[in-house]
Amino acid sequence: MIKTSLNKKLISFKRQPLVLLIFSSISFLLILLRLIFLQLLNYESFKKMSDENRIRLIASQPIRGRIIDKNGYVLADSRVKYSLIIKPQSVNESNWEKHKSSLSSLLNVDSNLVQTMYFDGLKNKKLSVSIIDDLSMDQLIKFKENEDNLFSFEIATRLIRNYPYKSVAAHVIGYTQPLTDSEYKFLSKRGYKLNDLIGRTGIEYVFEDFIRGEWGGEMIEVNSVGEFQKSLGIKPSIKGNDIELTIDINLQLVAEEVLKNKKAGAIIVMDPRDGAIRAMASKPTFDLNFFSRDFKPQEEYDKLFNSPEKPLFNRALNAYDPGSVWKIVTALAGLESGKFPSDIMLETKPCITYGSQCFREHNDLGFGVIGYEDALRVSSNTFFYQIGHGVGVDEIHEVSRKLGFNSFSGIEIAEQENIGLVASSEWAEEGRGWGEPGRTPWVPEDIASMSIGQFVVQVTPIQIARAYAAIANGGYLVTPHLSKKNGKYLANKGRMQIDIDPNNIQLIKSGLKKVVESGTGVSINYGISNLPPVSGKTGTAEDGEGGSDHAWFVCFTPSEKSELLVVAFAQNTPGGGSVHALPMAREILKVWNEKK
């Protein structure tokens, strides 16, 4: 028994080296496999991690390209913003009271405010707190002169977007804002940094890739405790491209000025030959520099984003009832249909009944028997009621489509644009956009309203500009545009000949000339000397949403070989186009004539 037990112990003892050998071999094999994994299979990954611990990148922010007008005036650029900050967790408390008092006295800052911001930073464990968001040059100089005695505070610098003319052409230029966290997740792959600026609206948005530039920086090597060892190289940031607009600041400034005493409205100044926009203004407007501020008071924010006046809304690209400026469309529909030839004479009346309503002449008398030119000259309603009723809704719709209505204009800032509405029998049959198909048919009252640009017609000032440009230039539909590069348009902007008889266009053009010579637009020449002949059309439109009347005036000059077209629109400004909109256009023509 004892012998058997001893034998087992001897066998077990002899096996121990073998077990140890097997265990050691397996351990060595695992280590070898791990080394192969680290050194060969996952080399690049670990090298990257090592480099990231050893190498630091000091990013260099690019300068965003400038936005300039056609004459080289700067509408948007970048500037360095100096902010006064504290790092609450690094402040020496024994010197704090002295430094706080010195700063308050030196820069005229409320010491209680400084104290509050300091405590807030400590409480919320903030790395830095901005005391003065945007130092003036005088404040900056004073601080630098006394910096040695104010070492609790520091100056932080940052590039911000700057708009020298503040609210001028705000809807055209647009604004920038820092990236959101959700945007950064996918835009970081395109070179964006956290809190990088990105265009939100207007030219800033549309040409973001063209004007943003590229980040640069310096790569430095640090040791295990993060101390600087050496520079590994510098990659300069690349400045963004400047973008030249077709805007003329002289005309833009007067367009902004003439809107100041209006509740709301828009001005468009355009070259009818090619669609180049010389001015585009919308009222109410806003200061673009608001978006470059770090701190935005809630009251100012609400006034901009939640105001019923909608200052961010570009009225030059929004749809309204056009009133009598629409009558050129009805006139062309009558001519193109062949039902009302160029020599037609119609009797105008105090009112004409359609359906259950008597639609009145605006003078409540009528103008006797007249033709197209005089109907435009005096802006007769009952003349155009008869034309519209005679040709029908779809003929008017078809002509309007040829003139660019019921479609986008092609302007670059299309994110702000409304397509508008021009009624058709199909539209009515399909439910008018709100009803059930087959339950909202076309009714006789609709054609009367449509004939003079009311209720079932909603168009934008930019669409009106395109249509009248086609009359001014002899039958070519142009694409409104705002941008140029090296003297050429950034996009392929051409003009297209419209499928309308040139003789009919010439007849409308003659009528528009009579409007200014002896009709409702005669006052356009008052107070301007040596102005070339002007053609135009006044318009007064009832607001389909129930507000006060809108006032319109459209004109182009010279009447032949036109170089300038103006659309003036005063929203909810009762009194007539000749009273409110025409004087705005006159001021623009005056400045254009003087500068020319």
More confident site: 194 or 287: 287
Yes or no: say if 75 and 68 are a contact pair by the CB < 8 Å rule. yes
| Digit-coded pLDDT (tens) for 407-444 | 999 999 999 999 999 999 999 999 998 888 988 888 88
d(CA 573, CA 263): 7
Q: Can you name the residues that pair with 346 across neighbouring β-strands?
A: 370
- How sure is the predictor about 347, in pLDDT bands with cuts at 50, 70 and 90? very high
Residue-level pLDDT at 12: 55
Q: How many CB atoms lie within 10 A of CB 482?
A: 27
Residue 64: closest CA among 220, 234, 222, 178: 178
Higher-pLDDT residue of 293, 55: 293
Choose the weakest-confidence range: 13-22, 175-184, 359-368, 458-467.
Answer: 13-22
Amino acid in position 418: N
- Write out pLDDT tens, residues 57-67: 667 778 899 99
| Other CB atoms within 10 A of residue 155 CB | 14
Q: How far apart are CA 570 and CA 82, in angstroms?
A: 41
Q: How many other CB atoms are there within 10 angstroms of residue 65's CB atom?
A: 19
Residue 494 has pLDDT above 90, yes or no: no
pLDDT in tens, 174-212: 999 989 888 888 898 888 888 788 999 999 999 999 999
What is the spatial distance between Cα 29 and Cα 330, in angstroms, rounded to a whole number? 91
Q: What are phi and psi of 327, to 5 degrees?
A: -60, -20
Alpha carbon distances (Å) from 276 to 117, 210, 245, 247, 325: 50, 20, 9, 8, 21
Residue 589: its pLDDT value, please?
A: 97
Q: With CA atoms as reference, report the closest residue to 316 among 286, 284, 288.
A: 284
End-to-end CA distance of the chain: 128
Residue 485: both structure tokens together: 């590069």
Paired sense of beta strands 216-222 and 535-541, if any:
unpaired
CB count in 10 Å sphere of residue 189: 7
* Secondary structure (DSSP) of 74-106: EEEEEEEEEEEEE-GGG--HHHHHHHHHHHHHH
Question: Number of H helices and number of E strands within the chain?
Answer: 20, 25
Closest by Cα among 320, 467, 482 to 400: 467
Cα 492 to Cα 230, 410, 415, 462: the distances in Å are: 50, 11, 19, 19
| Tokens encoding 521 | 């637009």
What six digits make up the tokens of 334?
A: 């009558």
How far apart, in Å, are the Cα atoms of 447 and each of 328, 486, 540, 543? 15, 49, 18, 17
Q: What is the dihedral of CA 506, 508, 512, 518, to 10 degrees?
A: 100
Over residues 555-566, mean pLDDT:
97
pLDDT exceeds cutoff 80 at 486: no
